[in-house]
Amino acid sequence: MKVLITGITGFAGSHLADYLLAEKPDIDVIGTMRWRSRLDNVEHLQGKVKLLECDIRDATACNTLIAAERPDMIFHLAAQSFVPTSWKAPHESMSTNILGQLNIFEAVRAANLDCRIQIAGSSEEYGLVLPEELPITENQPLRPLSPYAVSKVGQDSMGYQYFMSYGMKIVRTRGFNHTGPRRPSVFVCSDFARQIVEIELGLREPRICVGNLEAERDFTDVRDMVRGYWLALEKGEPGEVYNLCTGTSWSIRSVLDLLIGFANVEVKVENDPDRLRPSDVPRLEGDVTRLHQATGWKPQIPFEQTMQDLLDYWREQLS
């Protein structure tokens, strides 16, 4: 069996490749990368996975790749995934996320391929959620609050439409926040962890810059998340959509306090207005019942462990 991971050089993509190589030895893992992609996350996979150059915004490149490789399963993880970038460059987020996925779907159709496809949607799609609507089930109305969230709603709807129109075996996941080693430092936990380690190493003044600490997010360890992606696609129903989350939310302030508690130094916290967004989703806390009932998935790694591993990752990277 052959599995294609779009965006294999990225955070979740590289962890999914690790999971498949460790747990599914009979699978051939191939992945797409752009010519300018950094390879740090997959250096340890050299010789174990096949890397193929393909920008998903290029329809011809997608057609050529899919026709030549004919994968049995596709995990579509390549995306513009940072919410603030989508405010600065909305066209880029829309074209990469929506048109990129369209190119993959059309390439699968053109090659007459009967493969299973997972789409990495996001809890950001839910956007504004009222307190009485928590925890969030898949039936929650989508009220996106950022261009990124709109692009993910677009991907999600397209997945449903291609399933209904063509019977394509598409499974949609709505992943809530996920973090862990290799997380780029623009995202909140990794940003704070990196700043703390820089302070530990004497690389910056003992001050952590922060944005909105009142938001609340439901964090899953990335290693649990990619196992969820696999189970959703292997055992989930085509056409269905599944939340992937823990059911517990943490305020960003409590994440900061936890990380500071693990630090080897004293730090001061400084508000940075540049880190605030035009609108920010106040609280995301999901209900994972549907995925659990379909696949047995539940998170295994406690958030405290994830934060320790993230600090250790940055200690290794920066020292």
């820089």: which residue's tokens?
198
Find out whether the peptide bond into 71 is cis, omega within 30 degrees of 0.
no
Nearer to ligand GDD by Cβ, of 213 and 301: the residue is 213
83 lines the binding site for ligand GDD (CB under 6 A):
yes
Nearer to ligand GDD by Cβ, of 30 and 196: the residue is 196
177 lines the binding site for ligand GDD (CB under 6 A):
yes
Give the per-residue contact string, 221-250, with ligand GDD (x = CB under 6 A; - = no). Answer: ------------------------------
Hey, which residues between 203 and 222 contact ligand GDD (CB under 6 A)?
210-213, 215, 217
Of the candidate residues 48, 207, 235, 275, the single one contacting ligand GDD (CB under 6 A): 275
186 lines the binding site for ligand GDD (CB under 6 A):
yes
4, 6, 12, 18: CA torsion to nearest 10 = 30
Shortest Å, Cβ 24 to ligand GDD: 25
277 lines the binding site for ligand GDD (CB under 6 A):
yes
Nearer to ligand GDD by Cβ, of 108 and 145: the residue is 145
Residue 129: CA atoms inside 13 Å, Cβ hemisphere, count? Answer: 25
* Residue 22: partners with Cβ closer than 8 Å, 6 or more residues away: none
How far, in Å, CA of 292 to CA of 311, rounded?
30
Query: Would you say the C-alpha torsion 162, 58, 233, 229 has a positive or negative sign?
Result: negative
Tell me how far CA of residue 306 lies from CA of 94, 124, 198, 300, 303, in angstroms: 31, 21, 19, 11, 5
77 lines the binding site for ligand GDD (CB under 6 A):
no
Shortest Å, Cβ 79 to ligand GDD: 7
How far, in Å, CA of 212 to CA of 278, rounded?
11
Hey, which residues between 16 and 45 contact ligand GDD (CB under 6 A)?
none
Whether 136 and 286 have beta carbons less than 8 Å apart is answered as yes
Nearer to ligand GDD by Cβ, of 81 and 140: the residue is 81
81 lines the binding site for ligand GDD (CB under 6 A):
yes
* Size of site (CB under 6 A) for ligand GDD: 22
């992945």: which residue's tokens?
31
Question: Given the rule CB under 6 A, which residues bind ligand GDD?
Answer: 81, 83, 122-124, 176-177, 186-188, 191, 210-213, 215, 217, 252, 275, 277, 280, 284
